[in-house]
Amino acid sequence: MTEHGSAAGVAVSVVHVSSGVVRHGAAEVEVGCDPSLIRFLTLQAIDVEGRVIAQTGFNEARVSILGATAAARLPLPEDRPVGALRVVPAGAEAEVEYTPDFQLHRLFFASPQAFAASKVARRRGERPRDKETHLYMVRQMARAYAVTSKGKESELTVTMTCSYGYRAAELLDEKHAHESLTLINCLHVHMQMQKFSEQLESRSLSLLTAQWHAAAAARDRAAFEAALRQILSNAESYSRNSLAFTMCYNSVRGMAVLAGYCILCLKVEAALAALAGIRTILTAAGRVFAFHPAHLDEFTRTCRIAVPLEDFENVLRGSSNQQVGDMLQLRMPHVKLTLGQAASEQLIRPSIRSDNPDALLVIIQGFTASGDISAAQVAG
């Protein structure tokens, strides 16, 4: 048993909260403490004002040579946001210490101001490291702020809605992927009602990028194709945007995926149109180059995707004499890959914004079996 001394000199037992994550809509928390304390412990879900909205006790202690541990599982309410979870030793002389693996301290931000102050949109260290817990947080935020923009889309609304789509895609969670697509579509409708601005166009691109990721996870080929076609359709407008340098990160990746997808669908002209779109964006981005370390790193990584651009164009233009079934077996210059392999490995995979690109690549390749995208569709 671990004890701390109190101000009065009385030894106080310590409850070590060793982990805390969200699994399937419920908080799962483990603690280590003296077995006699277990009956006093309560796991509480609180709202942003600190009011208890759900609670449960811990199970019987499991005792080993390393000490005693206990666990609690608390289904989280769907009808209101959960601000945080906490362990309370009600009626017991004990202190609670949380380890870094307890990731339930902050699951909701009460206002756009609180969100901005948290830096959660910019700093990975401010977010839950556990992916499912992070998904729970961004889902709460996306749902709560989905209809509160009142004309001007806030950074919070777009960031959380996009993050929800990305996290669903990383976890390959079809249910959440479908829900995120609904929120993305609703937000797009709101944005289309607003007066055009360059910032609004940039945020719309962010939503389209999240859409094609979520659509892949949802196995929704129509939504996947629609997002990519829209990105290419907007390429000229993006190139005139003063934010083109930062927008190229998402726009080039979208068009690279579209190009690779069209190649796998044996649609040569559509693929060439997407590759031309990449040229348009990178040329524009170079004209408004901004020396910012983070943006420079993003631009450098984006340019790497475009390195084999000319090779793809040359091979595609020379494929007209090939039988349709043989086109994907054409050899790419400078790499030991066929055209089909290069489409997957040099265009699609590196453009997927996910820690799980292999799984999404397989889904996208599966779309091509029934893909019927044409050059006319790509053109909008």
283 and 351, same domain (yes or no): yes
Indicate the residue among 31, 65, 98 that finishes a domain: 98
Whether 291 is covered by a domain: the verdict is: yes
pLDDT of 326: 84
Whether 169 is covered by a domain: the verdict is: yes
Whether 364 is covered by a domain: the verdict is: yes
- CA separation, residue 372 to residues 45, 213, 221, 225, 266 (Å): 49, 19, 10, 10, 9
Q: Are 360 and 210 in contact (CB under 8 A)?
A: no
Whether 65 is covered by a domain: the verdict is: yes
Q: What angle do CA 38, 42, 43 make, to 5 degrees?
A: 120
Question: Residues of 303-334 as b/e, b for ≥16 C-beta within 10 angstroms?
Answer: eebbebbebbbebbeebeeeeeeebbeeebee
> Where is pLDDT greater, at 296 or 94?
94
Which of the four pLDDT bands, split at 50, 70 and 90, describes residue 323?
low
Indicate the residue among 69, 98, 127 that finishes a domain: 98
Q: What is the mean pLDDT of residues 50-61?
A: 92
Query: For 140-144, 179-183, 209-213, 234-238, which range has the lowest pLDDT when averaged over its residues?
Result: 140-144
**Shortest CA distance to 201 belongs to which of 231, 164, 172, 156?**
231
Instruction: Decide if pLDDT at 322 tops 70.
Output: no
Domain count for the chain, please give it: 3
249 and 373, same domain (yes or no): yes
164 and 210, same domain (yes or no): yes
| 117 sits in which H/E element | helix 112-118
The CA distance from 197 to 218, in Å, is 31
Which of the four pLDDT bands, split at 50, 70 and 90, describes residue 325?
low
| 42 sits in which H/E element | strand 41-46
Q: How far apart are the first and last CA of the chain?
A: 68
Taking the CA atoms of 23, 27, 32 and 34 in sequence, report the sign of the dihedral they define.
negative
The structure's pTM equals: 0.90
181 and 280, same domain (yes or no): no
> Where is pLDDT greater, at 297 or 253?
253
Instruction: Decide if pLDDT at 152 tops 50.
Output: no
Q: What is the pLDDT of residues 119-143, one digit of tens each?
A: 776 777 678 999 999 999 999 999 9
Instruction: Decide if pLDDT at 378 tops 60.
Output: no
| 338, β-bridge pairs | 331
362 and 265, same domain (yes or no): yes
16 and 78, same domain (yes or no): yes
pLDDT of 380: 40
**Shortest CA distance to 216 belongs to which of 350, 359, 343, 344?**
359
113 and 211, same domain (yes or no): yes
Q: What is the mean pLDDT of residues 189-194?
A: 86
The CA distance from 130 to 27, in Å, is 12
356 and 310, same domain (yes or no): yes
Q: What is the mean pLDDT of residues 49-63?
A: 90
Identity (one letter) of the amino acid at 5? G
Indicate the residue among 68, 98, 128 that finishes a domain: 98
Residue 334: φ, ψ to 5°:
75, -10
CATH of the domain at 18: 2.60.40
11 and 80, same domain (yes or no): yes
Domain span holding position 296: 241-380
Instruction: Decide if pLDDT at 302 tops 50.
Output: yes
Distance of CA 254 to the CA centre of its chain: 15
**Both structure tokens of 336:** 């030991």
350 and 267, same domain (yes or no): yes
Q: What is the mean pLDDT of residues 35-61?
A: 93
DSSP line for 263-309: HHTT-HHHHHHHHHHHHHHHHHHHHT----HHHHHHHHHHHHHHTTH
Mean pLDDT of the chain: 89
Q: How many other CB atoms are found less than 10 A from the CB of residue 46?
A: 18
Q: Are 259 and 347 in contact (CB under 8 A)?
A: yes
| 162 sits in which H/E element | helix 155-171
Q: What is the mean pLDDT of residues 33-62?
A: 92
Whether 104 is covered by a domain: the verdict is: no
251 and 289, same domain (yes or no): yes
Whether 236 is covered by a domain: the verdict is: no
Instruction: Decide if pLDDT at 7 tops 50.
Output: no
Q: What is the mean pLDDT of residues 244-258?
A: 96
Query: In percent, how much of the chain has pLDDT > 70?
Result: 90
Beta strands at 52-57 and 62-64: parallel, antiparallel or unpaired: unpaired
8 and 28, same domain (yes or no): yes
